[in-house]
Structure 1
Amino acid sequence: MKRTLLALATTLAVLASADIAAKDATAEAARIHEGALVLDTHLDTPANLRRPGWSIADDHRHEGELSQVDLPRMKAGGLDGGFWVIYTAQGARDDAGKRAARDHGLERLVSIREMLAAHASDMELALTPADAERIASAGRRVSFISMENAAPLASDPSLLEVYHRLGLRMLGITHVRNNEFGDSSTDPAGAEWNGLSPAGRALVEQANRLGIVLDASHASDAVFDQLLELSRAPIVLSHTSADAVYGHPRNIGDARIRQLAAKGGVIHVNAYGGYLVDIPKVPEREAALEALSEKFGPEERLPASRVTAYLSERRAIEARYPVKRATFDDYMSHLLHIIRVAGVDHVGIGADWDGGGGVVGMEDVTALPRITEALLAAGYSEGDVRKIWGGNLLRVLRQVQDASDASAP
């Protein structure tokens, strides 16, 4: 009996010790996360800015996957800021389509600038790495601006200078289809330009001259290769995952990750489930979701008053036609693999929030401390974590700006 009691006491002591160690590790991770400059390179949240009744200042977690980023949740998750995205879907490439893309891009830029002006005590436009550090130190959210898909420039590439003057500091060449500037990694028609078009090569030169970071996410491997060759400063992948972990045209192979690192670039790891694991399409589900979209209209125009009804019908469809979902462990598999291949100096986070990103266990930005905790558990140091969360990004931005014509005396 005494032996049984002794064994029980020993077991309880071990469990108590393990519990204390776990709490200490969580507290240490929280301290490190709070002390780091936490930046994400791909925030698609501007898609929500024109929704009637929607404000970045309100907590929208009740909207589920419709909204993953707002000021209350940025503060709760320790997200100091990042790049707000001017995203334009690739439409027709005739004159009317180019004008529509031009107008859409400018409208989205205006909406971002309006958001910043309306919440100046909480957010501030950042143009340089020094701006980012100053803004974060003041307790405001660091607000860079990027463009995903250069389609708004197709009618007049010289508009890039206007965008730069108004805050643009990162430029993605393509989205899911080819455009006037280069090939996409996912266009069903295949390569059109075998990389960059002549206009795309000129755009690279212009971006370098202005000090705008070039982003190869969504672009074909040939575009990636040519950006590395042509750019006189490092480039980034703003939201891309590992082909070696899950083979997908949208992901990147290890050899190219090493080439990116050798040129000083950074890959920011995506949390879009369909690029992390194999999620087969269910035709009935896709058809039902398409019908739902036709009924309620585009999500980016959905009024707050209709959110409850929309989500109720959408969740009923998802329950009727369930599919596999990527998890936080899946995300970390990609992140840890990429760190091993590229090295801690060449990796960051670009989770594709409000653009389809988010996984089970990391549904919105309030869960970002989990990444810090997982990195520390994997053996990475506080200094490594600081590099991954923002240090590497700011280093590239500094190099790009230093190499630009604008930096010349």
Structure 2
Amino acid sequence: MTKRLTFLAALLLCGCATTAQQGTRSHADFLVLDTHLDTPLHFARPGWSFAGHHDPATDLVQVDMKRMEAGALDGGFFAIYTEQGPLTAKGYADALAFARGRSDLIDTTLAQFPARIGRALTAQDAARLNAAGTLIAFKSMENSYPLGEDLSLLREFYDRGVRLAGPVHGANNQFADSSSDKPKWNGLSPLGRAWVREMNRLGIAIDASHASDAAFDEMLELSTTPLLLSHSSGRWAHDHPRNLDDDRIRKLAAKDGAMCVSTIFLTDMKMGPERETLFTRYEHLDTMTPAQQADHARKWRALDATEPLWGDADFERYMAMVLHVIEVASVDHVCFGADWDGGGGLPGIEDISALPKVTERLRQAGYSDADLAKLWGGNILRILREAERAKAR
């Protein structure tokens, strides 16, 4: 656990691999990170613990520490997600209070398990924790709406540990147009352009997932550090505005960014009235008793059997899209962010315990140890180091 893991961590940091290592490493040997974990929405559930394994038949959670260990997911970015609300003083104040509370919840939950999972603020922290055999927890911010019009609050969330943040979510806000809304700013707002500059100054990596194509284009042009898309799919697989087209994937790669491939929007989401009701309740599992939580999960699974959320998309379709994105961008600009606990998962890749299957399929496609080290964690850590260097400058 000591010298070998320390050596592997050093290889990841320098981006190198020896000939002797090619084709010899198992999935568990790689530093495996996921850039978008919505699991904090479960942290306050009555009777629920992040430490244990949860039965998928009675619990919808896809990430817990037992399955992190079983699926060799070494860690990732735990998201401070805030639902989009009105662009008013009260809307901003309510959102800020929520985001602060979610940040605190992440901290207090992880602090219960200091021997099993540790907070990371830098790429070096990730390598250190991995070498010690400890799971890795970064923080991200999905939707910068809680900042209101006060960009100085970005410093507060940096101090809280946020190292990856996106400007927008499912609706336009004060910073940018969403991929899921009609254009308001035709990209970034003036405040959004100032947000990019402040992100670069603080050393927080920019997440362009959920942003409109025009907002993506502006962030790519304005940012002095590479973009990291935390959970996006390729438009090659399904023509949806939430996905990124091949031309933009190439431009992202040309600017040294990376797209972490998601399992979502490989087809249209099947959001009928029953599923919409279940999704609304899913955001409030922390208000339910354990029995109510289990009943909600049973109803969700029953609907999965008759009307799957993502239609006929499955692991095979997912891997076809992953391999296409790698072909377009190269192994230097692809990573993984399946949107676990936020709508992700497909038949054959239902939760993080399935991650070794992805490595196996990439092996079959001819990718080497060095390639897999980049895809699973190296590219993410490289972009974090770029953001850290920009702050130092």
TM-score (norm 1): 0.86
Give the counterpart letter for 1:59 in structure 2.
H
Q: Give the Å deviation of 1:300.
A: 4.6
Q: Give the Å deviation of 1:90.
A: 0.5
- The question of whether the paired residues in 1 share the 8 Å contact of 2:59 and 2:297 is answered with no
Partner of residue 130, structure 1: 124
Distance 1:279 1:185 in 2: 15
Q: Give the Å deviation of 1:318.
A: 4.2
Distance 2:149 2:46 in 1: 30
Partner of residue 204, structure 1: 196
Give the counterpart letter for 1:313 in structure 2.
K
Partner of residue 370, structure 2: 383
Give the counterpart letter for 1:122 in structure 2.
R
Distance 2:62 2:279 in 1: 19
Which one of 126, 132, 142 corresponds to residue 148 of structure 1? 142
- Is the alpha carbon distance of 1:291 and 1:217 closer, same or farther for their aligned partners in structure 2, counting shifts above 3 Å? closer
Deviations along 1:218-260, one digit per CA (max 9) or x if unpaired, are: 0001111111111111111111111112110000011110000
- Is the alpha carbon distance of 1:115 and 1:279 closer, same or farther for their aligned partners in structure 2, counting shifts above 3 Å? closer
SS of residue in 2 equivalent to 1:144: strand
Partner of residue 221, structure 1: 213
Q: How does 1:57-76 map to 2 (within 5 A)?
A: 57-63=51-57, 66-76=60-70
Partner of residue 51, structure 1: 45
Give the counterpart letter for 1:305 in structure 2.
A
Deviations along 1:149-170, one digit per CA (max 9) or x if unpaired, are: 1011115321110110110100
Give the counterpart letter for 1:349 in structure 2.
F
Distance 1:151 1:63 in 2: 35
Kindly indicate whether residue 298 of structure 2 is the aligned counterpart of residue 312 of structure 1. Answer: yes
SS of residue in 2 equivalent to 1:366: helix
Q: How does 1:94-243 map to 2 (within 5 A)?
A: 94-187=88-181, 190-243=182-235
SS of residue in 2 equivalent to 1:118: coil
- The question of whether the paired residues in 2 share the 8 Å contact of 1:99 and 1:155 is answered with no
SS of residue in 2 equivalent to 1:237: strand
Q: Give the Å deviation of 1:99.
A: 1.1
- Is the alpha carbon distance of 1:174 and 1:300 closer, same or farther for their aligned partners in structure 2, counting shifts above 3 Å? farther
- Is the alpha carbon distance of 1:63 and 1:51 closer, same or farther for their aligned partners in structure 2, counting shifts above 3 Å? farther
Q: Give the Å deviation of 1:315.
A: 3.4
- The question of whether the paired residues in 2 share the 8 Å contact of 1:29 and 1:372 is answered with no
Aligned residues: 371
Distance 1:130 1:197 in 2: 34
Deviations along 1:266-294, one digit per CA (max 9) or x if unpaired, are: 0000012xx1124555xxxx223345567
RMSD between superposed Cα atoms in Å = 2.0
In structure 1, stretches of 5+ residues that fail to align are 1-27
- Is the alpha carbon distance of 1:121 and 1:372 closer, same or farther for their aligned partners in structure 2, counting shifts above 3 Å? same
Kindly indicate whether residue 257 of structure 2 is the aligned counterpart of residue 289 of structure 1. Answer: no
- Is the alpha carbon distance of 1:258 and 1:76 closer, same or farther for their aligned partners in structure 2, counting shifts above 3 Å? same
Kindly indicate whether residue 388 of structure 2 is the aligned counterpart of residue 401 of structure 1. Answer: yes
Q: Give the Å deviation of 1:311.
A: 2.4
Q: Give the Å deviation of 1:265.
A: 0.2
Distance 1:309 1:119 in 2: 29
Partner of residue 15, structure 1: none
Q: Give the Å deviation of 1:313.
A: 3.0
- The 10-residue stretch of structure 1 (90-99 or 195-204) with the greater mean CA deviation from structure 2: 90-99
- Is the alpha carbon distance of 1:29 and 1:300 closer, same or farther for their aligned partners in structure 2, counting shifts above 3 Å? farther
Distance 1:295 1:208 in 2: 37
Distance 2:343 2:59 in 1: 8
- Is the alpha carbon distance of 1:126 and 1:191 closer, same or farther for their aligned partners in structure 2, counting shifts above 3 Å? same
Q: Give the Å deviation of 1:53.
A: 1.3
TM-score (norm 2): 0.90
Identity of aligned residues (%): 47
Q: Give the Å deviation of 1:316.
A: 3.7
Give the counterpart letter for 1:337 in structure 2.
H
Give the counterpart letter for 2:297 in structure 1.
L
Give the counterpart letter for 1:91 in structure 2.
G
Kindly indicate whether residue 34 of structure 2 is the aligned counterpart of residue 40 of structure 1. Answer: yes
Which one of 258, 265, 277 corresponds to residue 257 of structure 2? 265
In structure 2, stretches of 5+ residues that fail to align are 1-21
Distance 1:303 1:247 in 2: 40
Distance 2:73 2:343 in 1: 18
* Larger relative helix fraction: 1
Distance 1:67 1:116 in 2: 17
